[in-house]
Amino acid sequence: MTGRHRQRNAGRWVPDYGAAPSAAPRRPIPRTWRVVLLAALTTVLVVGAAVVASGMFRSKQSESPNLAANLPATLSTSTAAGPNATSGVTAPPLDEGPMTTASASAAPKSPATVDSARYRQPTPADVEATPATPAAPAPGQTGNTDANPTAANSAPSKAKAPSRSQSKAPAAKGPASKTAANKGANNASASKAAASKAAANKAAASKAAANKAADKAANKAPTKAADQAANPPLKRSQAPAPSIQLAFTGDMLTHDRIIKQAASDARAARRPGYAFDRMLSSVAPVVSSADFAVCHQETVIAGPSNERVGGYPSFRAPYELAAAEKAAGWDACSTASNHTTDHGQSGVNETLDALDANGIQHTGSYRSAEEEATQTVYDVNGVLVGHLSMTYGNNSGASPNPWSVDKINVEWAKEQAAQMKSRGVDIVVASVHDGVEQQQEPSPEQRTTDAALLSSPDIDLVIGAHAHVVQPISQVADGRYIVYGLGNFLAIQSSSSTASDAEAGINRDGIVVLPTFTKGNDGRYRVTQMGYVPTFVTLDGYRVELAPERSRERVSQIVNSGGAKVQDLTDSFR
């Protein structure tokens, strides 16, 4: 029997809802509860609609072209990295995805702003010039397709509150409706405040841009007068001579056998230490005949105590070598080579100290950044000769300091030469330590480097070393010379002990080049004669002498293979 009634069952009355007697009883929900639950559900729906409407409003507000008012203050533009750089944001190449922040642990983004990691903060120029972009319609809404596209695109890009159709929440009654209305009013106030803030930011940006422009105008490129103040014209010792002759010699490479011979010569002369006078005496007349002579000091020179002197592979010549070089007639040395830093910065310092102590000028390696920044210019009878010395690298690896040794850098050399000429230098010579050892033919890299150097009208002569064999002399179209390789001057790489020194090998050949510079009618000094004298290192005492006939013929053949106009001056010194 169904219905709402009671029946007798096991001595008690139970309600009958059509279920089995053993089932749990179901009690109806009171009417009051149902009213309360319905009201609560209605309130939740109304509040949710208001929140959605508020989010839509803020989303449209953040899509305003004036992003400067909404972006975090930490995203400030950085002019140091470029005009469009933003602190903490890296701009990838086009079509390579969104920008990524530099830090993996970025701070959470504010829900009221656009994704700051994906957008570049606009500059004042962007805010001023970028046309306003209509906001996309919210889901379920239709955009205004009848709007005038020209008018829309030409609208000024000022912060603009979203339209009603984009921000209005569904209508609601009761307290929830009042809350939504209050939130709408608050959002309107926030929009107005944002617009005011954007205007203030724009004014500040305009002022900053004006200040930057003023600073740029004040710090414009130095005038000619300022440049001359920073690099004043050089003074001459006298009126420049109409013609000068220079001398350049090859590698000073003191192997162990040469050091032992120098010690033996010193003992024979009853002198302490080492003596190189006998080794250099035969060619001293050639070297000293020039108005100014430059050696290529390839190795380190020890200090006065002669600690750890030795030959290959970490060369350190005895201290007495510098005095012998001065006595033979050298006035300066190029010092940039692959052995310059065999003993680190201390070896560089010792070498330059030894040269200074004997009145020999130098360039190519340095004791300080200030010394490296000082250009080397020689005054030769009133003619100013600038000198650059560069090497392809160092056997010891990286230089002890960035300024320790000048490495081959064509653009830097051209800039230095141009600056020297602007200061009144008459002649610029570039000494380059490169090439392939034991190879008489210049390498492609040599040819490329030397041709690039002479592409500058400010470099007048290129002198090469490092191959330990004599290489050709050539000329470029306007007559300037390239001496690809001077060969060894004082070295003993050959192990030959044949009776005739001329048969010993090409790595004991060398040349002294004697270019004569003459001033032309246009005021420029040019090489008017490229003379050379072949030399040879003997096995008897390792003396550098005028080359015997076989060696002389061999050297002359190589020198002339470059097609340059040259002249063997050996007979002038016999």
Domains and CATH numbers, the chain: 28-73+121-140+154-209 (no CATH), 238-573 (3.60.21.10)
Reported as a pLDDT band with limits 50, 70 and 90, residue 210 is low
pLDDT in tens, 142-167: 343 333 333 333 333 333 333 333 33
pLDDT class for 397, splitting at 50, 70, 90? confident
**Cβ-proximal residues to 171 (8 Å cutoff; 6+ apart), any chain:** 177
β partners of residue 6: 15
* Of 262, 354, 261, residue with least CA distance to 299: 354
Q: Which of 494, 528, 529 is nearest to 510 (CA)?
A: 494
Task: Give residue-wise pLDDT tens across range 249-284.
Answer: 999 999 999 999 999 999 999 999 999 999 999 999
Q: How many helices (H) and strands (E) would you count in the chain?
A: 15, 21
- In this prediction, residue 43 has a pLDDT band, given cuts at 50, 70 and 90, of confident
Alpha-carbon distance 554 to 185, whole Å?
100
Do the Cβ atoms of 202 and 127 come closer than 8 Å? yes
Greatest mean pLDDT among 102-116, 224-238, 379-393 lies in: 379-393
Query: What is the arithmetic mean of pLDDT over 293-315?
Result: 98
The tokens describing 108, both together, are 């959470």
**Predicted confidence band of residue 217 (pLDDT cuts 50, 70, 90):** very low
209: pLDDT confidence band, cut at 50, 70 and 90? low
Q: Which two tokens stand for residue 420?
A: 């020297």
Q: How confident is the model at residue 33 (pLDDT cuts 50, 70, 90)?
A: confident
Intra-chain end-to-end CA distance of the chain, in Å: 149
When pLDDT is averaged across residues 342-365 and rounded to a whole number, the result is 99
- The pLDDT assigned to 21 comes to 45
Residue 516 has what pLDDT?
Answer: 99
pLDDT at 156: 36
**DSSP 8-state secondary structure symbol assigned to residue 521:** T
Compute φ and ψ for 343, nearest 5 degrees.
-125, 35
| pLDDT at residue 115 tops 70 | no
The pLDDT of residue 80 is 36
CA dist 212 and 50 (Å) reads: 46
pLDDT above 70 (res 183)? no
**What percent of the chain lies above the pLDDT cut of 70?**
61
Residue 141 pLDDT exceeds 50: no
The answer, yes or no, to whether residue 372 has pLDDT greater than 80, is yes
- pLDDT band, very low/low/confident/very high, at 424 (cuts 50, 70, 90): very high
Strands annotated E in 393-548: 427-433, 461-465, 473-475, 481-483, 488-490, 509-519, 525-537, 544-546
SS3 90: strand
Assess whether pLDDT exceeds 80 at residue 230: no
Q: What is the DSSP letter of 457?
A: T
* pTM to 2 decimal places: 0.63
Inform me whether the pLDDT recorded for 106 exceeds 90: no
